[in-house]
Structure 1
């Protein structure tokens, strides 16, 4: 039995920094720098507009009202509305192009992660949870999108405004400016204290969400098993436990945020109170006009705005940092099964395939436990144009041999040759394109019959589809359907019988037209009647091809050119059916046991 290798998919927080996250995300944005430049220019203009607005208030209070000038009032209000209109237009431009930039960058990141993910080794997926990977591709990527939001880039414009306004308020009244500036370090202190707390609570929330998603995914894919064994209450209890764990983690994060936000707000109002107190005293002394005080209060708000915005964005930053850590933990993995330098295309097979003293062990879940070999010192040939059968008890190592043949794993020792070329010297894509595997685990995609037969050979014509359907003995069934090749099969082929799924898989393999065919107990899950109808399709598939057959029912391999008997990871007998029956050995025991 296969043992999935140990692999920890949880994020490693060490080395995951805010700067690294921004560099990772904006590295994608900078591929289209003109959009970023447009946004920065627009945000700078908006910052200047923010600076102008308090001046209108000051002018009305200090000049228009004392003069009681309606003409001046109309002009000032008109200029105010013009400024707001221009600001609105620039806000629209900024929001639109920010959306274009944000969606483009996040789509690129999601595609990049997806493409990277599906190229990882088989053992990675054996030790990973599907729900967790789905969360990383969806929610975690969406969290990074917050870094390229209008709120985020408006913070850049606010920084420009902050610098200009800070100089201006010191120019107007340095005492009040210095007093209100004392509140800024308090805000940064609160941010520093709560930053780690919020990030940790959201990290736990993200982990529990992944567990909950995985439980949901398992439930939906195993619904027939659940109903058959009436375990609805058990599964509901499991989901309830995970959902409550996720709820508790989110509440903990919300609690930290609930403490953090009022503290920042209090410090902001403390700054406003200082200005009100000192500014009123200066008005009493005629050192400041009422209009200047009102404008000054507006400018204090502008000064506090980027700090306040940063504190509000802290929550998003911490969520994004957790998601970034989970994403780079995947992208930090390197597939071990890759093309070697100088790898060649798959050869035109003339002599066959050779396993030469091959030994292989699956990685153990327990690093300290010894790794028992799945196959040990296995040597045999698969001659060109002949059919070689593998037989033996479940767990003997038969499927491992087919996995190694398709290079889903690399051997620990020994070598596999294709016409004398080592398997690791052949380009991986070329190797797998020349091996067609039909197994008892039938993979049907959610689409049409045409989509499923054409899968892997997208350029196939309609005539080719019908040709392989006929060879697979499924053309009559397809012609009897209202939509024929365009018939939807449902998720995992739920609308098809086991035999129909198997014949579609055979048609797919025929269309691939690979040099080597592997049948991994292709009829083991079918009844005798279905097996008989499919046997002809399998014979068509193996005709004039080099074939390796793993047989559960030994009656199906009487005519194999060579039978290899596998036991405990070793080849213990080999020969034709007649030769092995005459030896009175392990094969004969297996054969007779099936017909008792």
Structure 2
């Protein structure tokens, strides 16, 4: 499993870097030049020790020192150039990856976000991408240059002194075994770190989103204790991963110094036998540094590599998610709504197969208001989500002026439906931007007209910054009624022919509800409305009222007709007006 993941990750990186071939070719040329210079510098040093010093050739010494300085400067330039190009390539690849992941997440259907934890998604889109970025960094990609240099040097070393080089090469299997042993330990440790980090982020996100509940129930200590536990689990996992790496590094250092000891010991013995030179020992020590450079880089990279493999698995899981609600290959155009929406024997269930909506049929004619009432969990909100095509029906069909909504673009459908819910969603930006959200370039006059229609204009004018006033995260600086009226202004500006009101006043007090109901009445004028009613007094004038229980329509009719039947609607009405 681990090996297959690694190969998939390598192929993934290859695809990410495919568009940068010319930069990578230039980098390879620079790396080859660097390899040649790194070979030449020890050779010059060896020549100075073995020939120039014994012969006291001052002129040659000056030339040799000058050559060393020039070669060192050229190496610096080549290194800077290759690092710049690698940084450019890696940053572009990571930016594309972030765009791909974020776009892929946004294109998932509504069911995906209902079952996914925000904290887990945040880890994938931030920490996991950063982990992959570590492998695409100039230092990591520069490892290939170190390996290239090491291969060239190793061949030359074998030609010059096969015995000594052979002894050094014997240390490589030890390095491989040590790497393999610790890599598996570190891989498992970082997988646990990622899981515990996701759990911790979910705890943070849930707690901050529920701060009002925490404060009102005085559960700060309990919440802090719960967080402390998951934070402690994360600390232990982090410490375990760090411990493995801390143990790994000195073992690698010992094997590296074993190579140094072999060169000094065997090389000195060969010098004593006149089969090697002091300059050769010095050169070989330099060559050994070059050989060990990729090993040391790999040692420093192994921890990052294990994190990246775990992160790549999570990124793969996200990329493997496919939305169930998708547009057909050749969608039909959707004209402006002009006739009726029809639910025709609609059934719906989630993946578990348990029925949520069963054999629901009704018409929503243009200009009329249809209300949905019933117990909590009866399926009313699901009906509205099916209309918006957040889910696809599992049987029957929903038609929009006779066109099955599955045959049109979901975007075209949703632009003709304005939705106001009990939980108003506002962005932490200005009132203007919240009213005009998703509508492109909109004039201030149009925004003010929508605000007037929603009965929020006077309040906005009373603010020092007017339309530029920031509403705070989730509109925290506004009251529930003010947030609702901004949401209503947004629908006025959208000018959608169909309006869905999903218990939009359920969380408001009676006085605020009466005030906002005026805005709703104005919004519903000359529009087609599907209303989920919390207070039955607000839908007495609906064209048709549908009573939904257990996913089925059990009663239908006007307010007076349903009261006359003395059935479930009459029971609900009586409970509210006792």
- With normalisation by structure 1, the TM-score equals 0.94
User: Mapping of 1:541-560 within 5 angstroms?
Assistant: 541-560=523-542
Identify the match of residue 464 of structure 1 among 446, 454, 458: 446
SS state of the match for residue 27, structure 1? helix
1:222 aligns to 2:210 (yes or no): yes
Pair 1:206–1:16, CA change in 2 (3 A): farther
Quote how far apart the aligned CAs of 1:94 are.
2.1
Distance in 1 of aligned mates of 2:62 and 2:434:
72
Distance in 1 of aligned mates of 2:204 and 2:244:
29
SS state of the match for residue 517, structure 1? strand
1:499 aligns to 2:487 (yes or no): no
Aligned counterpart, 1:389: 371
Distance in 2 of aligned mates of 1:343 and 1:16:
39
**Does structure 1 retain, via aligned residues, the 8 Å contact 2:481–2:508?**
yes
Identify the match of residue 447 of structure 1 among 383, 405, 429: 429
SS state of the match for residue 374, structure 1? strand
Aligned counterpart, 2:505: 523
1:102 aligns to 2:90 (yes or no): yes
Aligned counterpart, 2:301: 313
**Does structure 1 retain, via aligned residues, the 8 Å contact 2:346–2:395?**
yes
Distance in 2 of aligned mates of 1:430 and 1:74:
78
Distance in 2 of aligned mates of 1:300 and 1:188:
17
1:539 aligns to 2:521 (yes or no): yes
Aligned counterpart, 1:274: 262
Quote how far apart the aligned CAs of 1:485 are.
1.0
User: Mapping of 1:164-313 within 5 angstroms?
Assistant: 164-313=152-301
Aligned counterpart, 1:421: 403
Identify the match of residue 562 of structure 1 among 544, 550, 554: 544
User: Mapping of 1:360-371 within 5 angstroms?
Assistant: 360-364=348-352, 371=353
Aligned counterpart, 2:334: 346
SS state of the match for residue 76, structure 2? helix
Quote how far apart the aligned CAs of 1:265 are.
1.6
Identify the match of residue 42 of structure 1 among 10, 21, 30: 30
Aligned counterpart, 1:6: none
Measured against aligned partners, the alpha-carbon deviations of 1:331-387 in whole angstroms (never above 9, x if no partner) come to 0111110012322132332320111111112334xxxxxx44222111111111111
Quote how far apart the aligned CAs of 1:57 are.
2.1
**Does structure 1 retain, via aligned residues, the 8 Å contact 2:379–2:548?**
yes
**Does structure 2 retain, via aligned residues, the 8 Å contact 1:21–1:324?**
yes
Measured against aligned partners, the alpha-carbon deviations of 1:557-580 in whole angstroms (never above 9, x if no partner) come to 121111111122211111111222
1:58 aligns to 2:60 (yes or no): no
User: Mapping of 1:20-31 within 5 angstroms?
Assistant: 20-31=8-19
Structure 1 spans left out of the alignment, 5+ residues: 1-12, 365-370
Query: What do you get for the CA RMSD once the two structures are aligned?
Result: 1.6
Distance in 2 of aligned mates of 1:217 and 1:393:
30
Measured against aligned partners, the alpha-carbon deviations of 1:273-300 in whole angstroms (never above 9, x if no partner) come to 1121111111101111111111012112
1:487 aligns to 2:475 (yes or no): no
Distance in 1 of aligned mates of 2:137 and 2:551:
57
Aligned counterpart, 1:85: 73
Distance in 2 of aligned mates of 1:387 and 1:510:
17
Measured against aligned partners, the alpha-carbon deviations of 1:533-566 in whole angstroms (never above 9, x if no partner) come to 2112112221211110111111111211111111
Quote how far apart the aligned CAs of 1:255 are.
2.2
**Does structure 1 retain, via aligned residues, the 8 Å contact 2:340–2:366?**
yes
**Does structure 1 retain, via aligned residues, the 8 Å contact 2:167–2:262?**
yes
**Does structure 1 retain, via aligned residues, the 8 Å contact 2:347–2:359?**
yes
- With normalisation by structure 2, the TM-score equals 0.97
Moved more, 474-483 or 371-380: 371-380
SS state of the match for residue 355, structure 2? coil
SS state of the match for residue 525, structure 1? coil
Quote how far apart the aligned CAs of 1:68 are.
3.5
**Does structure 1 retain, via aligned residues, the 8 Å contact 2:35–2:152?**
no
Aligned counterpart, 2:143: 155
**Does structure 2 retain, via aligned residues, the 8 Å contact 1:40–1:153?**
no
Distance in 2 of aligned mates of 1:292 and 1:591:
100
Measured against aligned partners, the alpha-carbon deviations of 1:506-525 in whole angstroms (never above 9, x if no partner) come to 11111112121100011111
1:579 aligns to 2:561 (yes or no): yes
**Does structure 1 retain, via aligned residues, the 8 Å contact 2:337–2:416?**
no
**Does structure 1 retain, via aligned residues, the 8 Å contact 2:347–2:355?**
yes
Distance in 2 of aligned mates of 1:38 and 1:148:
17
SS state of the match for residue 19, structure 2? coil
SS state of the match for residue 391, structure 2? coil
Aligned counterpart, 2:417: 435
**Does structure 2 retain, via aligned residues, the 8 Å contact 1:264–1:311?**
yes
**Does structure 2 retain, via aligned residues, the 8 Å contact 1:554–1:591?**
yes
Distance in 1 of aligned mates of 2:523 and 2:74:
71
**Does structure 1 retain, via aligned residues, the 8 Å contact 2:336–2:416?**
no
Identify the match of residue 106 of structure 2 among 96, 103, 118: 118
Measured against aligned partners, the alpha-carbon deviations of 1:93-121 in whole angstroms (never above 9, x if no partner) come to 22222222222111110110000011112
**Does structure 2 retain, via aligned residues, the 8 Å contact 1:450–1:465?**
yes
Distance in 2 of aligned mates of 1:140 and 1:447:
28
SS state of the match for residue 30, structure 1? helix
Measured against aligned partners, the alpha-carbon deviations of 1:481-522 in whole angstroms (never above 9, x if no partner) come to 111111111111111111110011011111112121100011
Aligned counterpart, 1:5: none
Distance in 1 of aligned mates of 2:247 and 2:378:
60
Aligned counterpart, 1:10: none
Distance in 2 of aligned mates of 1:16 and 1:592:
65
Distance in 2 of aligned mates of 1:461 and 1:100:
40
Distance in 1 of aligned mates of 2:559 and 2:395:
30
Structure 2 spans left out of the alignment, 5+ residues: none
Distance in 1 of aligned mates of 2:5 and 2:554:
56
**Does structure 2 retain, via aligned residues, the 8 Å contact 1:517–1:548?**
yes
Identify the match of residue 337 of structure 1 among 307, 312, 325: 325
Distance in 2 of aligned mates of 1:15 and 1:485:
57
